[in-house]
Amino acid sequence: MNKKQAFNPYLPSWEYVPDGEPYVFNGRVYVYGSHDVFNGWVFCQGDYVCWSAPVDDLGDWRYEGVIYPRNADPMNKDGRMCLYAPDVTVGPDGRYYLYYVLDKINVMSVAVCDEPAGKYEFYGYVHYPDGTRLGEREGDEPQFDPGVLTEGDRTYMYSGFCGVGDKSRTGSRVCTLDKDMLTVITGPETVVPGSEYSEGTGYEGHAFFEASSIRKVGEKYYFIYSSQVMHELCYAVSDSPLGGFTYGGVLISNTDLHIDSYKPADLPMAMGANNHGSIVEINGEWHIFYHRHTNGSWFSRQGCAEKLTLGPDGSFEQAMMTSCGLNGGPLEGRGEYPAYLACNLFTEKHSLYVGEEGAPMITQDGRDGDEEVGYITKVTDGATAGFKFFDCRDVKKISVYTRAYIHGKFQVRTEYEGPVLAEIEVDASNIWEKHTADISLPDGIYAFYLTFRGTGNGQLKSFELE
């Protein structure tokens, strides 16, 4: 079988599915998430869609279509509320249950389907035995970002949102649901603290913010969540799904903060913001799914994934952001690669969060839904795009495709702050034009950092290795 190469982001560049919850069902990886739009003005403006790929070909993603429109909920018939990040679990009856929260109410909704990516139908609201909906009883905290895990006749549902400074929210809280998938039989109980309640817990500096997710690894339960700094996904481990979680560490940051293998640990290599995702085992290897931000905003996010290393003690190492993600190794060091695959994108300021004025960003032409390949815009002096990794054999030339008012050169490095190995002269053009320079590379696996030096404000479509 001729497999396709897998990239980051793993879906087409015109698709915006953040908050990814990955699962393997019947030999395919399914990813459930919220649905942003290109150039969106708020989070999660689209209907729920699903994508899937064969476990043995993670570059071959298939669009499964809309699985649940936002106006399917009885409280949202006019569609004025957004569908926030969902999660899916297989119930005791073998059906697939989709848990979600609308953006203006405090209760947890549930939809159901007979197959992983069919048409889900509204099922009900999570409630107490007396019929009171969870989130509406005195003392309840608002429901947000569900994480669900079913074992036997019991489903464990985690939920919560804790902004820094808000003492009214305690952390992520767990309930046990009965086999009807709706009725609360234990809880809610706080299992991972928010920042206002983290002192002395081991979660200091990495306390719970949002994005509850739960997985079982061996005989232990791993709780995955977005921490108070937003750009990182962390994990905690327990022998029980109902409590006793101890902080484990960072799984991924969409800025590569803390990674010190190729740059200083405290140096961000992309402009981050919120993060949400989870882990999944595919063919015996663990992966972390997360998202990145495009278009210089918080509201057009794209799903990415990296391989994780699980230690014999049950700990995960923090994964580095790459362009090759689910590929199982480096990309082929030959041919043309689109610029939207940049896993590092920064200026000389190295801003930690999205919002730096005039910073380079990934964008696209057209409107949301147009199948226009993404590229990097706002390329000005000092802007750097980093791509990793590529298995290079007999590479002699490197090219960039640029357009817009730009004059200068791209300096090519294979290490951050490494020597300049080539300089590609570029000039203004109203169409995409190819510019080439010679490069001498011994055979090996490389990253590529392209730094623009010059005047103007340009756009980078792609680079090519020959």
The correct CATH number of 332-465 out of 3.30.1330.10, 2.60.120.260, 3.90.120.10, 3.10.580.10 is 2.60.120.260
Q: What is the CA radius of gyration of the chain?
A: 22
Q: In this predicted model, what pLDDT tens digit does every residue of 170-185 receive, in sequence order?
A: 999 999 999 999 999 9
Span of 1-15, 100-114, 417-431 with lowest mean pLDDT? 1-15
| Mean pLDDT of the region 349-364 | 97
d(Cα 107, Cα 102) in Å, to the nearest integer? Answer: 8
Q: In this predicted model, what pLDDT tens digit does every residue of 341-350 receive, in sequence order?
A: 999 999 999 9
Structure confidence at residue 454 (pLDDT):
98
* Contact present, 303 and 50 (Cβ < 8 Å): no
- pLDDT at position 452 over 80: yes
**Environment class of 26 (CB within 10 Å of its CB; exposed 0-12, middle 13-18, buried 19+):** exposed
Q: What is the 3-state secondary structure (H, E, C) of 285-351?
A: EEEEEEEEECCCCCCCEEEEEEECCECCCCCECCCCCCCCHHHCCCEECCEEEEHHHCCEEECCCCC
- pLDDT at position 433 over 80: yes
Q: Is 19 a catalytic residue?
A: yes
Q: What residues pair up with 154 in beta bridges, in sequence order? A: 151
Which value, to the nearest 10 degrees, does the dihedral of the CA atoms of residues 24, 29, 33, 38 take? 180
| Mean pLDDT of the region 257-270 | 98
* Contact present, 330 and 391 (Cβ < 8 Å): yes
Selecting among 36, 87, 196, 210, the annotated active-site residue is: 210
The β-bridge relationship of strands 384-392 and 331-332 is parallel
Structure confidence at residue 3 (pLDDT):
83
Selecting among 19, 141, 145, 196, the annotated active-site residue is: 19
Structure confidence at residue 179 (pLDDT):
98
| Mean pLDDT of the region 349-376 | 97
Residue type, position 192, single letter: V
Q: In this predicted model, what pLDDT tens digit does every residue of 41-67 receive, in sequence order?
A: 999 999 999 999 999 999 999 999 999
* Contact present, 376 and 361 (Cβ < 8 Å): yes
Cross-sheet strand order for the sheet of 278-282: 278-282, 285-293, 301-307
Residue 160 phi/psi, 5-degree rounding, is: 160, 160
Token code pair at residue 225: 């969540």
Q: Is 391 a catalytic residue?
A: no
- pLDDT at position 276 over 80: yes
Token code pair at residue 393: 């054999």
Residue type, position 372, single letter: E
- pLDDT at position 324 over 70: yes
Q: In this predicted model, what pLDDT tens digit does every residue of 203-241 receive, in sequence order?
A: 999 999 999 999 999 999 999 999 999 999 999 999 999
Structure confidence at residue 370 (pLDDT):
96
Domain layout of the chain by residue ranges:
21-327, 332-465
Structure confidence at residue 192 (pLDDT):
98
Among candidate residues 294, 306, 304, the one with its CA nearest the CA of residue 11: 304
* Contact present, 465 and 335 (Cβ < 8 Å): yes
User: CA angle, 410 as apex, 404 and 411 as ends, to 5°?
Assistant: 170
pTM summary value: 0.98
The per-residue DSSP string of 82-116 comes to -B---EEEE-TTS-EEEEE-BTT--S-EEEEESST
Among candidate residues 162, 122, 151, the one with its CA nearest the CA of residue 215: 151
CATH of domain 21-327: 2.115.10.20
Residue type, position 119, single letter: K
Q: What integer best gives the mean pLDDT of the chain?
A: 97
User: CA angle, 379 as apex, 375 and 380 as ends, to 5°?
Assistant: 180
Token code pair at residue 313: 């003690």
Which value, to the nearest 10 degrees, does the dihedral of the CA atoms of residues 379, 382, 388, 394 take? 90
- pLDDT at position 132 over 90: yes
Q: In this predicted model, what pLDDT tens digit does every residue of 75-86 receive, in sequence order?
A: 999 999 999 999
d(Cα 460, Cα 446) in Å, to the nearest integer? Answer: 20
- Are 21-327 and 332-465 in the same CATH fold? no
